[in-house]
């Protein structure tokens, strides 16, 4: 526990602090507009967004005299890929000449993540956010984290200023958050593509063999895929190449893949939190309601209706998106349609994902611009020495790759 002036920073006591923390969350609505805000309801579990991570902590800031909670912060630690190196594994024989087989392998680092920093509107510009960040970073360091990062919106100037000017973070990556509404009608899937559900073990094998060198890839991908919130991993292949009856397993599939394929996993955020759009005009609400009425009455028109976003709604998050081949983008579109239909069955309002701005498959992801964020901002800080083998050096200074792996546990 840390006391500085009239503010005490301590660990969350879930039984004691629940109601106060919920009230603080409600007063700290977030959104990308001055008039429309997005309220997050964590279902009475303030640490629900981090409790699925290997190590996590939530701190609260309270006034020393009144014992009023005026700030909070969440943090977690995991091991992820921060780069890759070339490794010589075994031998290959070409034209009777023996050569070393060289392939890229991941370089891992212990990474901490800060999320959910909140300060009561009545106690802002008093240094409370800075105290919370510093105390969380102390915990990160005590638990061996080598880097810390956080995500915020580019136009959240107060947050950006706090982390870059006062906490020593630097701007690192600017991925895109892509959000698509779930319509009242189902989306049709191409008859040229087969969508198969992979077992968690098959999905793990595929991810480790094809995507383990992707930035931010979690070393414990098996824990993610086997989590109860992970609704499955889905593979799209050309019609006729494979089916559930002829599926050979990921290892054999990757040894002789079809010309094009794509994969994505689905995470059930609805079980963790719900969202609610507030501040929309009556005219906007009426228009949205009209589109839903028409869509339900005439589903064959396939009207792109606006779901009920002005009451609490849930969503699904797509992660592990990737693929290969010239038609991979089109297959990603099919997978997104499949995910949309799954979300519709489970009563969700949106399907979302987050990808690198340079992601080659980004164009295949359907989304509505007004619901999405073109440039989310990730900032990073080096906490101590890099304990990797030296292949990467200082990760904070590395150029971005084509793709990133967004861990659904931190959404």
Asked, for residue 367, whether it belongs to a domain, the answer is yes
Q: Domain check: are 155 and 254 in the same one?
A: no
Q: Domain check: are 185 and 151 in the same one?
A: no
Spatial distance between the Cα atoms of 211 and 207, rounded to a whole number of angstroms: 5
Asked, for residue 58, whether it belongs to a domain, the answer is yes
**pLDDT for residue 35:** 42
Share of the chain above pLDDT 70, in %: 91
Query: In this structure, what CATH number is given to the domain that contains residue 44?
Result: 3.40.630.30
3-state secondary structure of 221: helix
CB 154 within 8 A of CB 377: yes
* pLDDT over 70 at 144, yes or no: yes
Among 277, 272, 269, residue whose Cα is nearest residue 31: 277
Q: Domain check: are 280 and 228 in the same one?
A: yes
Q: Domain check: are 336 and 348 in the same one?
A: yes
**pLDDT for residue 96:** 52
Q: Domain check: are 151 and 215 in the same one?
A: no
* pLDDT over 90 at 268, yes or no: yes
Residues in the chain, total:
411
3-state secondary structure of 341: helix
**pLDDT for residue 189:** 95
Query: In this structure, what CATH number is given to the domain that contains residue 334?
Result: 3.40.630
Asked, for residue 218, whether it belongs to a domain, the answer is yes
**pLDDT for residue 32:** 44
In the structure, what pLDDT confidence band is assigned to residue 94 with cuts at 50, 70 and 90? Answer: very low
Q: Domain check: are 145 and 183 in the same one?
A: no
**pLDDT for residue 93:** 46
* pLDDT over 80 at 210, yes or no: yes
**Number of domain units in the chain:** 2
Q: Domain check: are 153 and 225 in the same one?
A: no
Asked, for residue 92, whether it belongs to a domain, the answer is no
Asked, for residue 104, whether it belongs to a domain, the answer is no
* Other CB atoms within 10 A of residue 147 CB: 22
Asked, for residue 274, whether it belongs to a domain, the answer is yes
CB contact set of 284 (below 8 Å; sequence gap of 6+): none
Alpha helix ranges (H) inside 298-362: 328-345
**pLDDT for residue 171:** 96
Let me know the angle formed at the C-alpha of 370 by 366 and 372, rounded to the nearest 5 degrees: 55
**pLDDT for residue 280:** 83
Q: Which helix (H) or strand (E) holds 290?
A: helix 282-297
**pLDDT for residue 99:** 56
Dihedrals φ, ψ of 202, to 5°?
-65, -40
Q: Domain check: are 224 and 326 in the same one?
A: yes
Give the position of tokens 């190449």.
241
CB contact set of 383 (below 8 Å; sequence gap of 6+): 112, 137, 140, 141, 145, 146, 147, 148
**pLDDT for residue 281:** 87
Spatial distance between the Cα atoms of 355 and 332, rounded to a whole number of angstroms: 13
Q: Domain check: are 358 and 210 in the same one?
A: yes
**pLDDT for residue 98:** 53
| pLDDT averaged over every residue in the chain | 90
* pLDDT over 90 at 277, yes or no: no
Dihedrals φ, ψ of 156, to 5°?
-85, 80
Examine the fold and report which residue of 145, 173, 201 is the final residue of a domain before the chain moves on.
173
Spatial distance between the Cα atoms of 6 and 64, rounded to a whole number of angstroms: 5
Asked, for residue 50, whether it belongs to a domain, the answer is yes
CB contact set of 313 (below 8 Å; sequence gap of 6+): 274, 275, 276, 307, 348, 349, 350
Structural domain of residue 20, as residue ranges?
Answer: 2-80+110-173
Examine the fold and report which residue of 119, 142, 173 is the final residue of a domain before the chain moves on.
173
Q: State pLDDT tens for residues 285-317.
A: 999 999 999 999 999 898 899 999 988 999 999
Q: State pLDDT tens for residues 160-176.
A: 999 999 999 999 999 99
Mean predicted confidence (pLDDT) in 140-158: 93
Mean predicted confidence (pLDDT) in 124-149: 96
Q: Domain check: are 213 and 361 in the same one?
A: yes
* pLDDT over 90 at 104, yes or no: no
Spatial distance between the Cα atoms of 306 and 310, rounded to a whole number of angstroms: 10
Q: Domain check: are 180 and 168 in the same one?
A: no
Instruction: Pull the structure tokens for residue 19.
Output: 């109601």
Q: What is the pTM of this model?
A: 0.90
Asked, for residue 279, whether it belongs to a domain, the answer is yes
**pLDDT for residue 30:** 56
Q: Domain check: are 182 and 169 in the same one?
A: no
Give the position of tokens 């040229």.
192
**pLDDT for residue 385:** 63
* pLDDT over 70 at 37, yes or no: no
In the structure, what pLDDT confidence band is assigned to residue 100 with cuts at 50, 70 and 90? Answer: low
Q: State pLDDT tens for residues 350-396.
A: 999 999 999 999 999 999 998 999 889 999 999 976 554 555 579 99
DSSP label at residue 362: G
């Amino acid at each position: 526990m840390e006391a500085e002036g009239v503010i005490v920073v301590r660990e969350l006591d879930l039984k004691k602090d629940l109601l106060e923390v919920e009230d603080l969350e409600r007063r700290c609505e977030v959104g990308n507009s001055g008039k429309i805000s997005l309220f997050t309801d964590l279902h009475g579990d303030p640490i629900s967004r981090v409790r699925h991570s290997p190590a996590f902590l939530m701190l609260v800031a309270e006034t020393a005299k009144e014992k009023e909670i005026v700030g909070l912060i969440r943090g977690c630690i995991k091991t992820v890929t921060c780069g890759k190196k070339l490794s010589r594994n075994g031998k290959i024989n070409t034209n009777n000449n023996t050569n070393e087989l060289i392939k890229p392998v991941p370089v891992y680092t212990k990474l901490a993540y800060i999320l959910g920093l909140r300060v009561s509107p009545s106690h802002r510009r008093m240094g409370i956010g800075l105290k919370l960040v510093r105390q969380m970073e102390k915990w990160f360091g005590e638990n061996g984290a080598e880097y810390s990062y956080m995500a915020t919106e580019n136009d959240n100037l107060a947050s950006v200023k706090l982390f870059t000017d006062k906490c020593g973070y630097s701007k690192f990556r600017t991925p895109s958050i892509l959000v698509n509404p779930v319509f009242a009608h189902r989306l049709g899937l191409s008859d040229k593509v087969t969508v198969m559900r992979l077992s968690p073990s098959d999905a793990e094998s595929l991810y480790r063999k094809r995507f383990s060198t992707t930035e931010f890839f979690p070393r414990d991908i098996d824990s993610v895929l086997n989590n109860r919130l992970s609704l499955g991993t889905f593979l799209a292949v050309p019609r006729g190449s494979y089916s559930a009856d002829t599926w050979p397993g990921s290892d054999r599939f990757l040894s002789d893949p079809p010309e094009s394929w794509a994969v994505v996993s689905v995470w059930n955020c609805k079980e963790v939190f719900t969202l609610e759009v507030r501040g929309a005009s009556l005219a906007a609400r009426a228009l949205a309601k009209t589109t839903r009425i028409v869509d339900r009455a005439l589903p064959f028109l396939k009207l792109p209706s606006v779901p009920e976003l002005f009451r609490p709604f849930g969503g699904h998050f797509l992660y592990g998106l990737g693929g290969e081949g010239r038609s991979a983008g089109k297959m990603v579109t099919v997978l997104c349609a499949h995910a949309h239909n799954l979300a519709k069955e489970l009563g969700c309002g949106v399907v979302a994902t987050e990808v690198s701005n340079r992601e080659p498959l980004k164009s295949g992801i359907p989304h509505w611009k007004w619901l999405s964020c073109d440039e989310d901002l990730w900032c990073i800080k080096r906490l101590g020495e890099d304990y990797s083998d030296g292949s990467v050096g200082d990760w904070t200074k590395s150029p971005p790759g084509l793709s990133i792996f967004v861990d659904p546990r931190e959404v």
